[in-house]
Chain A
Amino acid sequence: MDKNDIQQDEGRMENSYLIKTDQLVKTYPMGQHVLKALDQVSLSFLSGEFAGFVGPSGSGKTTLLNILGSLDAPTEGSAQVMGEKIEDLSHKDAADLRNRQIGFIFQTFNLLPVYTVFENVEFPLLLLGLSASERKDKVMQALEWVHLADRAKSKPSQLSGGQSQRVAIARAVVKKPRLILADEPTANLDAENSHNILRTMVKLNLELGTTFLFATHDDKVIKYLRRKITLYDGKVARDEVYDAEPTREKTS
């Protein structure tokens, strides 16, 4: 293999990353001081990873997840998600990226309370402009994945915590995004529900090839991760890969 081949391989690898951050810095003004939430974070993720950011509160997990989800912008450095530089995206383009490519799962489920389960899951598809029959098929398929097809007409207030989070997962996966970002998805769930939820996510990751990134300090979640990135004071302290497939790359 000559030098040109090596450069071409590196170029291909560069392009195949789903996410790549470079010297990412995020600061927040706190009165007269500046809080550095992220400090020189350089990471990359391939498509299909099942990875998580772990670390104590205030270590920058959620901030990093928000930037990768185009909900926030870095102060310095670069974050490239599916070929889009987050720092360069307009508000509208960021919304479009979230709408088409990214699914979110929140600690508090964030279901829309006045909608039924069906309508909550249908919501992202409405934004994509799909026809009613297409929407119905996809919503029911997503609800089948999370075993909640029989609760399609229920309101969120009629569901348990575990069921609510499964609806949130269905809402995140219904449009089959390439990336799902889950912020403390099991924090409000008991052990059994947490395992059910995580098994569902693993299944979706393997069957659909969806990349999952978590922000968590829950051991139950950490056990399922195939890659664990430990953040401490906004810096990457450790980046560990637990199995060979499908995640192989280890970067820092």
Chain B
Amino acid sequence: MIIPKLALRNLLGAGIRTWLNVVVLSFSFVAIIWTQGYIEGMNQQMAQSKIQSEYAGGQYWQEMYDPFDPLSLLDAHAPVPDAIREMVEQGEAAPVLVIQASIYPDGRMRSILLKGIPPEQDVIALPSRFLQREGDSVPALIGGRMAKSVGLEIGDTFIVQWRDAGGTFDAVDVEIVQIMTTSVQSIDSGQVWIPLDRLRDMAEMKGEASYIVVAQDREDLPEAAGWEFKDLEFLLADVRAIIQSKSVGSSIMYIVLLLLAMLAIFDTQVLSIFRRKKEMGTLMALGFTRLRIIQLFTMEGALNGVLAALVAALYGIPLLGYAARKGWAMPQGVDSFGLAIGEKLFPVFGVGLVIGTTLLVLMVTTIVSYIPTRRIAKLKPTEALRGSST
């Protein structure tokens, strides 16, 4: 126990030199956890938003349905199978019919996806209740990005033209009843949501759907011929790919921050080995072996990490806690990059992140502290006492 005791005594005795190191290292602690927490928060928020607003517990896709192939939509529809209809009636699933259409806001043509959804559904967090309206014109719900890009506001009407199941073109007036704010671009851009029954009538696709969203808590999922169930693992593959690509960048940032922190420790250690040579000689004269001196100097460096963790906890816990509660207001342009983040980004500082980062920094600090001390192994007591180099 003598080594940690002496190391702590040396460290505290060094005064301002120690505290400068500790403060710099604590900044790195907090900065690493801060950035990783925001990246983790962004990742979780992206996935969560997608789940809440689009995927819920998964989707049954009509076997021809491929959201990335607009041409397939012409054939990607079929009656909701009996096995799933029961779920729909119980409110545990929401069928969605998708057809290609064109709209003519201000006389300009624009290709869109016309989506029909039951207004009463609460399987996904889409404000479809606004579509519960009687009248001649078809009530429509669009997202904020779509409204902005085509210049539409609530109460505006425009013409929608589509081709029905028989291949005949038809058109109808549509009125915007609500503009929803959503961070999920894939339910917003280039999409117009109308009541499912109206779309089925318009497209002559009675009782049909392109895909069916299943509620999140639904466990036993029936098999349905002609329909394939896509679980969240499959549906979130794109989100995961984005996270994966971002994780490379975040890893680089992590390493850079870690290196900056380590530089301070390494610098101090290297300087110590040169400056404190006479002290090492004195320790040897007092009965210290070289190994014990190496242990002492390594421990001193490592204790910088421990003190930094304590200091970081002192101001980091309130700071990070505040950030996690209040979130970080995102610039308006961020969602146009396709990241489903929302107006505020809430960081997630998980136990794993905090403990993992702390252990990693402590481990790297110890290694960085040890490396320069290896020179001590070659040090002769008489040379050390003279303060000369080895």
Residues of A within 8 A of B (CB): 66, 69, 71-72, 91-92, 95-96, 98-100, 104, 106, 108, 110, 112-115, 119, 123-124, 126-127, 129, 171
Q: How large is the interface on B (under 10, 10 to 19, 20 to 34, 35 or more residues)?
A: 20 to 34
B13 in contact with A115 (CB, 8 Å): yes
Which residues from A are CB-within-8-Å of B2?
Answer: 126-127, 129
Complex Cα spacing A85 to B71, Å: 95
B289 in contact with A110 (CB, 8 Å): no
Complex Cα spacing A99 to B283, Å: 10
Q: Which of B253-309 contact A (CB under 8 A)?
A: 278-279, 281-282, 284-290
Given contacts A71-B382, A126-B2, contact A104 B285 (CB under 8 A): yes
A127 in contact with B9 (CB, 8 Å): no
Complex Cα spacing A126 to B284, Å: 14
A112 in contact with B279 (CB, 8 Å): yes
Which residues from A are CB-within-8-Å of B278?
Answer: 108, 110
- The answer, among A72, A108, A126, for a CB contact under 8 Å with B380, is A72
B287 in contact with A127 (CB, 8 Å): yes
In whole Å, how far is A136's beta carbon from the nearest beta carbon of chain B? 15
Given contacts A66-B382, A71-B381, A119-B9, contact A127 B289 (CB under 8 A): no
Which residues from B are CB-within-8-Å of A127?
Answer: 2, 286-288
Can you list 21 A-B contacts (CB < 8 A)?
A72-B380, A91-B289, A91-B290, A92-B289, A95-B284, A98-B284, A98-B286, A108-B278, A110-B282, A110-B285, A112-B279, A113-B279, A114-B9, A115-B9, A119-B9, A126-B2, A127-B2, A127-B286, A127-B287, A127-B288, A171-B286
Complex Cα spacing A46 to B237, Å: 86
Complex Cα spacing A27 to B10, Å: 37
Nearest to A72 among chain B residues (CB) is B382
Is B354 positioned at the interface, with any CB of A under 8 Å from its CB?
A: no
Which of A66, A71, A113, A129: most chain B Cβ within 10 A? A71
Given contacts A95-B289, A96-B287, contact A71 B9 (CB under 8 A): no
B381 in contact with A100 (CB, 8 Å): no
Nearest to B2 among chain A residues (CB) is A126
Is B224 positioned at the interface, with any CB of A under 8 Å from its CB?
A: no
In whole Å, how far is A210's beta carbon from the nearest beta carbon of chain B? 16
A114 in contact with B287 (CB, 8 Å): no
In whole Å, how far is B220's beta carbon from the nearest beta carbon of chain A? 68
Given contacts A72-B380, A110-B385, A112-B282, contact A126 B6 (CB under 8 A): yes
Is B252 positioned at the interface, with any CB of A under 8 Å from its CB?
A: no
Nearest to A69 among chain B residues (CB) is B285
Is B14 positioned at the interface, with any CB of A under 8 Å from its CB?
A: yes
Which residues from B are CB-within-8-Å of A72?
Answer: 380-382
Given contacts A110-B281, A114-B9, A115-B9, contact A123 B385 (CB under 8 A): no
In whole Å, how far is A198's beta carbon from the nearest beta carbon of chain B? 21
Complex Cα spacing A96 to B290, Å: 12
In whole Å, how far is B211's beta carbon from the nearest beta carbon of chain A? 71
In whole Å, how far is B354's beta carbon from the nearest beta carbon of chain A? 32
Which residues from B are CB-within-8-Å of A110?
Answer: 278-279, 281-282, 285, 385
Which residues from A are CB-within-8-Å of B287?
Answer: 95-96, 98-100, 124, 127
Which residues from B are CB-within-8-Å of A91?
Answer: 289-290
Complex Cα spacing A110 to B15, Å: 20
Which residues from A are CB-within-8-Å of B284?
Answer: 71, 95, 98
Complex Cα spacing A119 to B286, Å: 13
Which residues from A are CB-within-8-Å of B14?
Answer: 114
In whole Å, how far is B289's beta carbon from the nearest beta carbon of chain A? 4
A106 in contact with B6 (CB, 8 Å): no
Which residues from B are CB-within-8-Å of A104?
Answer: 285-286
- Binary contact track B212-243/A, C-beta < 8 Å → 1, others 0: 00000000000000000000000000000000
Which residues from B are CB-within-8-Å of A108?
Answer: 278
Complex Cα spacing A171 to B278, Å: 17
In whole Å, how far is A6's beta carbon from the nearest beta carbon of chain B? 40
B385 in contact with A95 (CB, 8 Å): no
- The answer, among A71, A126, A129, for a CB contact under 8 Å with B285, is A71
Complex Cα spacing A104 to B15, Å: 28
In whole Å, how far is B128's beta carbon from the nearest beta carbon of chain A? 71
Which residues from B are CB-within-8-Å of A114?
Answer: 9-10, 12-15
Which residues from B are CB-within-8-Å of A119?
Answer: 9
Complex Cα spacing A124 to B282, Å: 11
Complex Cα spacing A113 to B12, Å: 12
Complex Cα spacing A124 to B283, Å: 9
Nearest to B293 among chain A residues (CB) is A95
Complex Cα spacing A98 to B281, Å: 12
Which of B279, B288, B289: most chain A Cβ within 10 A? B289
Q: Which of B1-24 contact A (CB under 8 A)?
A: 2, 5-6, 9-10, 12-15
- Binary contact track B353-390/A, C-beta < 8 Å → 1, others 0: 00000000000000000000000000011100100000
In whole Å, how far is B19's beta carbon from the nearest beta carbon of chain A? 13
In whole Å, how far is B205's beta carbon from the nearest beta carbon of chain A? 83
In whole Å, how far is B377's beta carbon from the nearest beta carbon of chain A? 10
Nearest to A104 among chain B residues (CB) is B285
Nearest to B278 among chain A residues (CB) is A110
In whole Å, how far is A107's beta carbon from the nearest beta carbon of chain B? 10
Nearest to B387 among chain A residues (CB) is A108
Which residues from B are CB-within-8-Å of A106?
Answer: 282, 285, 385
Nearest to A128 among chain B residues (CB) is B287
Contacts A95-B289, A100-B287 aside, 18 further interface pairs with beta carbons under 8 A come to A71-B382, A71-B385, A95-B287, A96-B287, A98-B286, A99-B287, A104-B286, A106-B285, A108-B278, A110-B279, A110-B282, A110-B385, A112-B282, A115-B13, A123-B286, A126-B5, A126-B6, A127-B286
